[in-house]
């Protein structure tokens, strides 16, 4: 059975409120959506709360899902991102900041620093960002939303979105560059052998 037919049947059964189909859909997308929630939220507990809230919305609104308008995984992903944003709004306060374009930096940490880190390490650094800044960073850098789209989703101005992205990059550079320096410093053992 090809994937389109499988999803087609699964969607039809979920629309009919079939509990087994809902459980199957949940298991099918659980891992991917939980990773997405971990990226957006500061704690595992909040990530799991957003995941469950997101799946509840999926099941409540699957009747409106139309396969010819988009892919099921993308539709669920959008719902999960919105659930993360809604939950984060409770945690964060946004400030409207008017910046000129030259007041923010688009620099990311050097690629050689990022190449030495594992995905889990990066996630931990991203989670250290202030909540609003973390949300904007994920939406922009990871998920590719424009500042206009981020502003619309989060009820903030484009300039505020730009500021949060710039702030995220500045904080991440500050967190990552000391690690690079410590890795580049020769250890006592290496000093003796050179």
Beta strand spans in 60-130 (E): none
Residue 137's H or E segment, with its range, is: helix 131-137
Which is more confidently placed, 170 or 68? 170
CATH number for the domain including 12?
1.10.1740.10
Q: Which percentage of the chain shows pLDDT scores above 70?
A: 73
Please give the model's pTM, rounded to 2 decimal places.
0.64
Domain shared by 50 and 69, yes or no: yes
Query: What pLDDT, on a 0 to 100 scale, did the predictor assign at position 173?
Result: 87
How is residue 168 written in tokens? 């995220």
Q: Which of 26, 59, 91 is the last residue of a domain?
A: 91
Domain boundary at 35, 61, 91, which?
91
Give the pLDDT of residue 116: 56
Name the residue with tokens 């050689």.
112
Residue predicted with more confidence, 50 or 89: 50
Task: Indicate if 9 and 87 belong to the same structural domain.
Answer: yes
Mean pLDDT of the chain: 80
- Residue 117, pLDDT > 70, answer no
Residues 76 and 22 in one domain: yes
Tell me: do 7 and 86 sit in the same domain: yes
**65-69, 148-152, 169-173, range with the lowest pLDDT:** 65-69
Give the pLDDT confidence score for residue 189 in this predicted structure.
47
Number of domains present in the structure of the chain: 2
Q: Which are the contacts of 117, defined by CB distance < 8 A and separation ≥ 6?
A: 125, 176
Q: Which residues of 31-55 are buried (b: 16+ CB within 10 A; e: fewer)?
A: eebbebbbbbbbeeebbebbbebbb
CA distance 51 to 33: 7
- 7 in any annotated domain: yes
What is the rounded distance in angstroms from the CA atom of residue 153 to the CA atom of residue 89? 11
- DSSP 8-state class, residue 186: P
Residue 96 domain flag:
no
**77-116 pLDDT tens trace:** 999 999 998 888 776 655 445 444 444 555 555 555 555 5
Residue after which a domain boundary falls, among 43, 65, 91: 91
Band of pLDDT at residue 3, cut at 50, 70 and 90: low
**Is position 35 within any domain?**
yes
Closest CA to 159 of 88, 99, 76: 99
Query: Contact 147/140 with Cβ under 8 angstroms?
Result: yes
Residue 194 domain flag:
no
Domain that holds residue 10: 3-91
How large is the average pLDDT for residues 120-131? Answer: 83
Give the residue-averaged pLDDT of 174-193: 58
CATH at 132: 1.10.10.10
């Amino acid at each position: 059975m090809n994937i389109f037919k499988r999803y087609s049947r699964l969607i039809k059964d979920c629309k009919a409120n079939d509990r087994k189909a809902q459980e199957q859909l949940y298991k099918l997308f659980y891992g991917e959506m939980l990773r997405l929630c971990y990226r957006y939220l500061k704690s595992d507990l909040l990530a799991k709360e957003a995941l469950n809230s997101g799946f509840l919305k999926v099941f409540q609104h699957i009747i409106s899902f139309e396969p010819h308008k988009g892919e099921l995984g993308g539709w669920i992903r959008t719902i999960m991102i919105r659930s993360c944003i809604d939950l984060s709004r409770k945690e964060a306060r946004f400030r409207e900041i008017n910046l000129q374009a030259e007041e923010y930096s688009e620099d990311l940490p050097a690629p050689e620093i990022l190449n030495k880190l594992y995905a889990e390490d990066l996630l931990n650094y991203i989670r250290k960002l202030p909540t609003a800044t973390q949300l904007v960073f994920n939406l922009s850098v990871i998920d590719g939303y424009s500042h206009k789209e981020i502003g619309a989703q989060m009820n903030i101005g484009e300039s505020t979105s730009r500021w949060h992205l710039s702030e995220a990059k500045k904080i991440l550079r500050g967190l990552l560059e000391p690690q690079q320096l410590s890795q580049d410093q020769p250890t006592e053992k290496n000093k003796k052998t050179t």
